[in-house]
Amino acid sequence: MFKPKFFSLYSTYTREQVTRDIISGIVVAIIALPLSIALAIASGATPEKGLHTAIIAGFLISFLGGSRVQIGGPTGAFVIIVFNIILKHGYDGMLIATIMAGFFLIIFGLLRFGTFIRLIPYPITTGFTSGIAVVIFTTQVKDFLGLNIDKLPAGFYSMWKIFITNINSINPWATGIAAISLLIILFWPRITTKLPGSLVAIIAASLAVYFFQIPVETIGIKFGSISSSLPVPSLPVISLEKIEHLITPALTIALLAGIESLLSAVVADGMISGSHRPNAELIAQGFANIASGYFGGLPATGAIARTAANVNNGGRTPIAGMTHAIVLLVMLVALMPLAKFIPMCALAAVLVFVAYNMSEWHSFKALLKAPKSDMTVLLVTFFLTVFIDLVIAIEIGMVFAALLFMKRMADVTSGAFKFTHDRIADDDTELRYYLEREQTNLPKGIGIYEINGPFFFGIADRFLENALQYRRLVPVLIIRMRNVPAMDATGLHALTRLFNKCVEVGTRMVLSGVNEQPRKVMTKSGFVDLIGAENVCPHFDLAVKRATEIRMKDFELEALKA
């Protein structure tokens, strides 16, 4: 269902709930203000771009989204990829990638990919989220310590190399303010939760630096005057060459936005005992990112921490998220000129705290005790994110996960002869019971082969090898498929090859207990016509009856020949 929650809930709004939503929206806006500025700077953009993103994308995500309480805006997950895109393709390249990602998200939603995006393996999401956290922390070391470095190089190893080289240029004042700011962020919630610790830390640090003239770098020193004007629409110059170069980064942004927004919506559902519309949420994320890129903003998605804050402060409808965007707009106009007094070391403390929350170290530690396959996917994704590139990490992580999934499916799918000639397999008590119950004595020359588990390309070759383990197949072969929930083209191809081999040696094949999905595949491909509809039986007893009829005719023909 694509209908936004805002319109579905319209008839249920009450004055009391709207009041609570507005109050919650104001609180969330206060939380989002320092985060939006810090995330924009960490991404390689100017401070106001973070607010532009939170205002435009945040409003559209709430207005058009499929969640009652989702709060959208810039998040830490995008910092590294946006930083790298700006570094390689310039700011216009980042805007183009953001707009392209928006279109991808709309397509994902229209194709109802919402459910599938949520199925991305947990070790992958944990691996790249933890990796991003490590990289974000690394990018903040310079400002946290006040190191005298003009420009950070790209790459985790290169950053730490230059940190060590310039370790003698530490600014004790910057380090002290950053440490105190971090302590305020950590311990302020023990005093009150009504005002976010990050905002208190930034205000305190800014006042201290301004009144005591502490020699540390501020936003004003680094960026000059900060614009408080409203965002102006401006479409970057787009060419086919740029689109070609930016397809992969745009897809990465779209996947990250989809994963994080749906994960945030799921968390919110648990907090309010509700349910979101994943495909409507993806479409809303798409329009939000297109608009954000069009107005010069950054990629946006649902923010878990801000969404949780919205729920905890009484927000229950999209009005809270829309209010948060409107309040940020007022703050942009009224307070942005004051942002030039914010010390960079205080913002670094805010982002170090963001990185810590993103690290999910408890989950990371728990996954190290998971099966080796999951641990491998986790570590590969993590180290590729940190040392190589987030895009490559996701691509290779997905390939690893897919290969390991195929191996697991192949391991749980088995096939074996249960009855050949006059012998019943020792482990097949069910078949033995059936034959005794029905008082059935199968004619000599009937073999029974059973497949258990999904019949797909991971098991097809092993199936053929097992089924053809006898030099000459029996005159009639019953293939039991009662435990085959699904079949793909490769599995069908293997079954067709076995059928052709049966025809070659004079064996007739009968299928038993074919489930709905495999039967559709067989019917559509023409395999049912090939084997004969009468030889595809819904139950084992009918398959036995059919196989017996075939053998009786064989005996009659042999008698006539004699």
SS (H, E, C) 394-427: HHHHHHHHHHHHHHHHHHHCEEEEEEECCEECCC
Residues 6+ apart with CB under 8 A from 298: 39, 40, 43, 45, 49, 50, 53, 74, 78, 82, 94, 98, 292
Q: Is the distance from CB of 174 to CB of 345 less than 8 angstroms? A: yes
Write down the pLDDT at residue 121.
77
Write down the pLDDT at residue 417.
52
Put residue 273 in one of left, alpha, beta given phi > 0 → left and psi -120 to 50 → alpha.
Answer: left
Measure the CA angle with vertex 449, ends 445 and 454; round to 5°.
Answer: 160
Write down the pLDDT at residue 314.
85
Q: Is the distance from CB of 139 to CB of 389 less than 8 angstroms? A: no
Tokens encoding 393: 């990490």
CA-closest candidate to residue 454, choices 481, 418, 417, 494: 481
Write down the pLDDT at residue 471.
46
How far apart (Å, rounded) are the C-alpha atoms in residues 298 and 300? 6
Q: Which residues, listed in sequence order, are joined to residue 487 by a DSSP beta bridge?
A: 455
CA-closest candidate to residue 295, choices 526, 98, 508: 98
How far apart (Å, rounded) are the C-alpha atoms in residues 543 and 319? 62
- Every domain of the chain with CATH number 3.30.750.24 lies at 413-561
Tokens encoding 373: 């396959």
Domain topology for 413-561: Transcription Regulator spoIIAA (3.30.750)
Cα distances from 333 to residues 179, 225, 324, 371, in angstroms, run 30, 14, 15, 53
Q: Which stretch of DSSP H or E encloses residue 26?
A: helix 15-42
How far apart (Å, rounded) are the C-alpha atoms in residues 93 and 265? 29
* Per-position pLDDT tens, the chain of length 562: 678 999 888 778 888 899 999 988 998 898 888 889 888 988 989 889 999 999 999 999 999 999 999 999 998 888 888 988 998 999 999 999 999 999 999 999 999 888 776 667 778 878 887 888 898 899 889 999 999 888 777 778 888 999 999 999 999 999 999 999 999 999 998 998 777 888 899 999 999 999 999 999 998 888 877 778 888 888 888 889 999 999 999 998 998 899 888 878 877 887 788 888 999 999 999 999 999 999 999 999 998 878 888 888 888 999 999 999 999 999 898 888 888 898 999 989 988 988 888 787 888 888 888 778 788 888 988 998 888 876 777 778 778 777 776 666 666 555 555 555 445 554 555 555 555 555 556 677 788 888 888 887 666 666 776 666 654 567 888 888 988 888 888 888 888 888 888 888 888 899 999 999 999 999 999 999 999 999 999 888 888 889 888 888 876 676 666 5
Q: What are φ and ψ of residue 14, in 5° steps?
A: -125, 160
Tokens encoding 339: 């942002």
